[in-house]
Chains A and B, each alone.
Chain A
Amino acid sequence: MNAKTSKRLNMKERYRIMTRDLDWEPSYQRYEDIFPQESFEGIKITDWSQWEDPFRLTMDNYWKFQAEKERKLYAIFDAVSQNNGQMKISDPRYLNAVKLFITAVTPLEYNAYKGYARVGRQFGGVGARIACQMQSIDELRHTQTQIHAMSHYNKYFGGMHDFPHMFDRVWYLSVPKSFFEDASTAGPFEFLTAISFSFEYVLTNLLFLPFMSGAAYNGDMNTVTFGFSAQSDEARHMTLGLEIIKFILEQHEDNVPIVQRWLDKWLWRGYRLLSIVGMMMDYMLPNKVMSWAEAWTMYYEEAGGALFKELERYGIRPPKYAEQTVTGKHHVSHQAWFIFYQYGHATAFNTWIPTAKEMDWLSEKYPDTFDRLYRPRFELLAEKAARGERFYNNTLPQLCQVCQIPLSITEPDDDTLLSHRDTVHEGERYHFCSDGCRDIFQHEPEKYVQAWLPVHQILQGNCGGADLEKVIGDYYRIEMGEDNLDFEGSAEQRRWNAWKQAV
């Protein structure tokens, strides 16, 4: 076989010819006026021609493929709604994972759409611009298809009716919101390092796999199908993440410490954000997929470990505090669910005590921590609930200034002590959940002093007054007794049982 005799143009050549002359050299405007954000982060780009286009897709093909995906996806949505797909789910408690997804994750997709549209404008290299443009459109498609996938359930279940409003106001949704706004208000290279590399490449399996497999295990056809449809776009997103990190690191050695700091920051922020996924996996899925600790081992420690070992060749070390995530994986889901359980009157979904069978599963998956620390707590709460004293916490917690999670997570080396750090900046004291979050603050205090912290805002009277019921009902638009509280005795449970009897 002689490769030289082949007359067929290869994919790279075909793409080059199809896209030639789509970029141009400016003649009457200065480069730095056209791309004003390219240099202010300190990243040095010497030669955009070294950018290796990570995917060679022309726009006409892009539309053709995406249209076909939509046709397939909406055919499934139609079939699900015609067949009363809401009744095929394993257990109505499962829907609470969907509520969490549409309020916490779908708005992130929309923010990603805006973010890529913005930063794509800022790169001098045409390859990076096109990659961001396509991803921006993908993210908008993901937003829309997620909303459509879940809108069927919105006809029958609570908590999903006002998700964009809730995303902007509800206390726990400030965690994903502030995460993404931190990235969106950073420069274009930090945005791509944060979202394309740290989130889409390193952590994406820990977000999508649990939700999509969770949907598959619990009879939610719409979400599974949406997941496959979105994952087929992820090829481009992941390769963009890899290419951007390699490109920045290879362009100039002065970029290495900047990238290192971004990786330290964004992997820590991503880890904290994913606490809600851990809780979803371990507590909210009636049919379990795998435990959070298992997922973290497989996707972060093993797959991420191989990646960081190879990144060492660039002079990049594993992210700071990575070892804390490894000890934390045995605790974080239990601690997060306990937070949501005690504030279950202020959530747009139901909470509950795990069943005896579920607690046994948790004991098996968390042999070193569950029986020792968390089972006794849940058993006590179950006892109280049985006496009619279901515990709701009416005090407001201190939130971390950076990740905005309540300071309810334990020390990395002492699982009986809450972790609490603070620092004084310009005469004000600020509080943090961890060394990782405090480091992030201390590097850019002027950014994080502006954080919109839900508890502070309530106490300042900016959330509809001093009455917690008013905050929850009027300001958050969580309908008391309908969207929130314990699953046991909830409107959702009553309706489900009535429907099941009717069949």
Chain B
Amino acid sequence: MSYEVTIEPTGEIVEVEEGQTLLDAALRQGVWLPFACGHGTCGTCKVQVLEGEAEVGEASSFALMDMERDEGFRLACCCRPESDLVIEADVDEDPDFAGHPVQDWTATVSTIADLTPTIREIRLTLPGEGMAFQAGQYINLQVPGVEGTRAFSIATAPGTPNEIALHVRRVEGGAATTWLHEQLEEGQALELSGPYGQFFVRKSDPKDVIFIAGGSGLSSPESMILDLLDDPEDTRRITLFQGARHLAELYHRERFEALAAEHPRFDYVPALNAPLDDDAWDGVVGFVHDAAIAHFDGRFSEHKAYLCGPPPMIESAIGALMKGRLFERDIHMERFLTAADGAETQQRSALFKRI
């Protein structure tokens, strides 16, 4: 049994298991709420329940006073939902968030193509008017025979709402991605819901943008870049760093090279960290964050950065960007976790909210 909690004003949704605290569920699902002590004595994580019922838990009577309890305030670190909830938390609404409604869809597989030996592209046709989404967002896919859903970023631009593409990397031992690689056929129907996520271009900020992508984490940036380049009014410079192990794993290279040739404001920098002899690679050798450091001479201030890929790549990229004087408010990311990564177990401080 779990409850769905909608967090206003961002509209983010977290699933809270029976007996789990709101704060624990949110942090584990990558949704940041303010917090400090974690055990009901400081009151940093105070939220207001707008709809639904939630128990107060072990909140100190000084951190959450009677008058506040009566008004529906709760401490997220102690509060356990007793129904689906809508709460208001002290989190900032992003002015660039469009808030497209999440809907359930039955999609049809139109084409399947191998992009690399481990990544395949699945194109899906959506009925009706199709899905309104922001470039960078993701969908939750129901894989037949696999419990729960799996998140995949949309790799196509919002301009084609009836036809979306997913880049699916085959995860060693992963039930869902193995099925998608081995069993899925064209013409098949798949259940999905979306769009989700806070990973989208902050278009209201005119600064130049940097994309750093690793593996199948190219999907969101691809959608975002196609969307940006499609706008003739937009003048910001765009640089994409794409990382892969070796040449066979580097996909859509020709597509981005063509875009770079066509748009002088777009630069494309692919990097291979372990090129094979046969690759005859004359591009950047090294990790993708090192490619970014070399390209920008280690200075990233006055940019917006968007990172998408596996957690180690994200960590290295954040380190490089911050060393180059770009900070949390200008760094946005989507971590590609696999089911095996599970919830983050490493202890975190309250220093950073999202990164």
Binding site for B on A (CB under 8 A): 1-4, 6, 8, 10-12, 56, 65, 68-69, 72-73, 228-229, 231-232, 234-235, 238-239, 242, 246, 250, 253, 302-303, 305-307, 310-315
Report A261 CB to chain B, min CB distance, Å: 19
B90 touches A12 (CB 8 A): yes
Measured in the bound complex, the distance between the Cα atoms of B346 and A2 in whole Å is 33
Q: Is B60 in contact with A314, judged by CB distance below 8 angstroms?
A: no
Chain A residues within 8 Å of B352, by CB: 310
Q: Give min CB distance, B219 to chain A, whole Å.
A: 24
B319 touches A68 (CB 8 A): no
- Which residue in chain A gives the minimum CB-CB distance to B44? A235
Chain B residue nearest to A312 (CB atoms) is: B319
| Cross-interface CB contact of A234 among B36, B88, B350, cutoff 8 Å | B36
* Complex interface: stretch among B2-10, B24-32, B166-174, B259-267: B2-10
Contacts of A234 in B (CB 8 A): 36-37, 41-42
New A-B pairs, 15, CB < 8 Å, besides A10-B9, A228-B62: A1-B6, A1-B86, A3-B8, A4-B98, A8-B88, A231-B37, A231-B63, A232-B63, A239-B350, A253-B325, A306-B348, A306-B349, A312-B319, A313-B322, A315-B323
Alpha-carbon separation in the docked complex, A313 to B63 (Å) = 32
Q: Which of A12, A232, A303, A314 contacts B322 (CB 8 A)?
A: A314
Contact of A231 among B34, B62, B97 (CB under 8 A): B62
CB-based nearest B residue for A52? B329
Binary CB contact string for chain B from 1 to 20 against chain A (1 if under 8 A, 0 otherwise): 00000101111010000000
| A307 close to B61 (CB less than 8 A) | no
The answer to whether A69 touches B101, judged by C-beta atoms less than 8 angstroms apart, is: no
Task: Give the residue among B37, B61, B62, B101 with the most A Cβ atoms within 10 A.
Answer: B62
Return the contact of B36 from the options A3, A235, A253, A310 (Cβ within 8 A): A235
Q: Does B67 contact A (CB under 8 A)?
A: yes
A312-B315 Cα distance, complex, nearest whole Å: 12
Cα–Cα, bound, A217→B350 (Å): 29
A10 and B42: CB pair below 8 A? no
Q: Is B327 an interface residue (CB 8 A)?
A: yes
Residues of B bordering A, CB below 8 Å = 6, 8-11, 13, 34, 36-37, 41-44, 60-63, 65, 67, 86, 88, 90, 92-93, 97-102, 318-319, 322-323, 325, 327, 346-352
Closest 8 CB pairs of A and B: A3-B11, A307-B349, A235-B44, A235-B42, A232-B62, A10-B9, A231-B41, A306-B347
Query: Which of these, B63, B88, B90, B351, contacts A307 with CB under 8 Å?
Result: B351
A72 contact from B6, B8, B61, B93, Cβ within 8 A: B61
- Given known pairs A246-B351, A302-B347, the reply for A56 and B90 (CB within 8 Å) is yes
A232 touching B88, Cβ below 8 Å: no
Q: B10 — which chain A residues lie within 8 A by C-beta?
A: 3
The residue in chain A whose Cβ has the minimal distance to the Cβ of B323 is A315
**What is the bound-complex CA distance between A231 and B41, given in angstroms?**
6
Contacts of B11 in A (CB 8 A): 1-3
Q: 26 pairs across A/B with beta carbons < 8 Å?
A: A2-B101, A8-B88, A11-B88, A56-B90, A65-B65, A68-B67, A69-B62, A69-B65, A72-B62, A73-B62, A228-B60, A228-B62, A229-B62, A232-B43, A234-B36, A238-B37, A239-B34, A246-B327, A246-B351, A250-B327, A302-B347, A306-B347, A310-B349, A310-B351, A313-B318, A315-B323
Complex-state Cα separation, A52 to B31, whole angstroms:
19
A residues near B41, Cβ cutoff 8 Å: 228, 231-232, 234
Q: Closest residue of chain B to A202, judged by CB?
A: B349
Do A10 and B8 contact each other (CB < 8 Å), given the known contacts A4-B98, A242-B350?
yes
Contacts of A242 in B (CB 8 A): 350-351
Q: Considering the complex, give the chain A residue whose CB is closest to the CB of B7.
A: A3
What is the chain A residue whose CB lies nearest that of B349? A307
A68 with B65: in contact, given A3-B9, A232-B41 (CB under 8 Å)?
A: yes
Whether B8 contacts A228 by the Cβ 8 Å rule is: no
Q: Which residues of B contact A69 (CB under 8 A)?
A: 62, 65
- Closest Cβ of chain B to A240, distance in Å, is 11
Q: Write the chain B residue with the least CB distance to A234.
A: B42
By the criterion CB–CB under 8 Å, are B93 and A10 in contact? yes
Dominant SS at the B interface?
loop
Question: Measured between alpha carbons, how far is A302 from B98 in the docked complex, in Å?
Answer: 40
B residues in contact with A314, CB < 8 Å: 322
Q: Compute how far the CA of A3 lies from the CA of B10 in the bound complex, rounded to whole angstroms.
A: 6
Q: Which residues of A contact B9 (CB under 8 A)?
A: 3, 6, 8, 10
B351, A232: Cβ atoms closer than 8 Å: no
Given contacts A242-B350, A310-B349, contact A235 B43 (CB under 8 A): yes
Contact B99–A10 (Cβ < 8 Å): no
Question: How distant is the Cα of A334 from the Cα of B244 in the complex, in angstroms?
Answer: 56
> How many Å from the CB of A182 to the closest CB on chain B?
25
Given A2-B99, A6-B9: A228 and B61 interface contact (C-beta under 8 Å): yes
- Chain A residues whose CB sits within 8 angstroms of the CB of B6 once the complex forms: 1
Complex Cα gap A307–B98 (Å)? 34
Give, as a whole number of angstroms, the nearest-CB distance from A54 to chain B.
9
| Closest partner residue, chain A, to B327 (CB atom) | A250
B8 contacts which chain A residues (CB < 8 A)?
3, 6, 8, 10
Tell me the bound Cα distance from A315 to B324 in angstroms: 10
**In the bound complex, do residue A232 and residue B349 qualify as a contact, i.e. CB atoms below 8 Å apart?**
no
B41, closest chain A residue (CB): A231
**Nearest-CB distance from B123 to chain A (Å)?**
28
Given A2-B11, A310-B349, check contact A232 B101 (CB 8 Å): no
Q: Which residues of A contact B98 (CB under 8 A)?
A: 4
Give CA–CA (A307, B36) in the complex, Å.
Answer: 12
Q: How far is the CA of A307 from the CA of B352 in the complex (A)?
A: 10
A303 touches B347 (CB 8 A): yes
Expressed in whole angstroms, the Cα–Cα distance for A312 and B67 within the complex equals 42
Residue of B nearest to A314 (CB): B322
CB proximity of A116 to chain B, nearest CB, Å: 18
Closest chain A CB from B86 CB (angstroms)? 8
Q: Are A10 and B92 CB-contacts (below 8 A) given A234-B42, A235-B43, A313-B319?
A: yes
Looking across the interface, which residue of chain A has its beta carbon closest to that of B351? A310
B60 contacts A232, C-beta separation under 8 Å: yes
Q: How far is the CB of B265 from chain A (nearest CB, A)?
A: 27
Taking CB atoms, residues of chain B closer than 8 Å to A246 are 327, 351
Q: What's the least CB distance linking A310 to chain B, in Å?
A: 5
Which residues of chain B are within 8 angstroms of A229 by Cβ–Cβ distance? Answer: 62
A355 to chain B, nearest CB (A): 32
In angstroms, Cα B325 to Cα A313, docked, is: 10
In the complex, which residues of chain B have a beta carbon less than 8 angstroms from the beta carbon of A311?
351
Q: How far is the CA of A142 from the CA of B250 in the complex (A)?
A: 61
CA A343 to CA B102, docked complex, whole Å: 71
| Complex Cα–Cα for A239 and B93 (A) | 20
Q: In the bound complex, how far is the Cα of B101 from the Cα of A4, in angstroms?
A: 10
CA separation between A56 and B34, bound complex, in Å? 12
Most buried by A among B9, B92, B323, B349: B349
Residues of A within 8 A of B349 (CB): 303, 306-307, 310
Which residue of chain B lies nearest to A238 when distances are taken between CB atoms in the complex?
Answer: B36
Give Cα distance in the complex from A234 to B62, angstroms. Answer: 11
Minimum Cβ distance to chain B for residue A249 (Å):
9
Tell me the bound Cα distance from A242 to B60 in angstroms. 23
Complex Cα distance, B100 from A264, in Å, reads: 49
Chain A residues with CB below 8 A from B347, complex form? 302-303, 305-306
Are A306's CB and B346's CB within 8 A? yes
Q: How far is the CA of A312 from the CA of B346 in the complex (A)?
A: 16
How many whole Å from B188's CB to the nearest CB in chain A? 30
Closest to A245 in B: B351
Inter-chain contacts of B67 with A (CB < 8 A) = 68
CB of A322 to closest CB in B, whole Å: 15
Query: What is the minimal beta-carbon distance from B216 to any residue of chain A, in angstroms?
Result: 26
B42 x A238 contact (CB < 8 A):
yes
B residues near A315, Cβ cutoff 8 Å:
323
Q: How far is the CB of A264 from chain B (nearest CB, A)?
A: 18
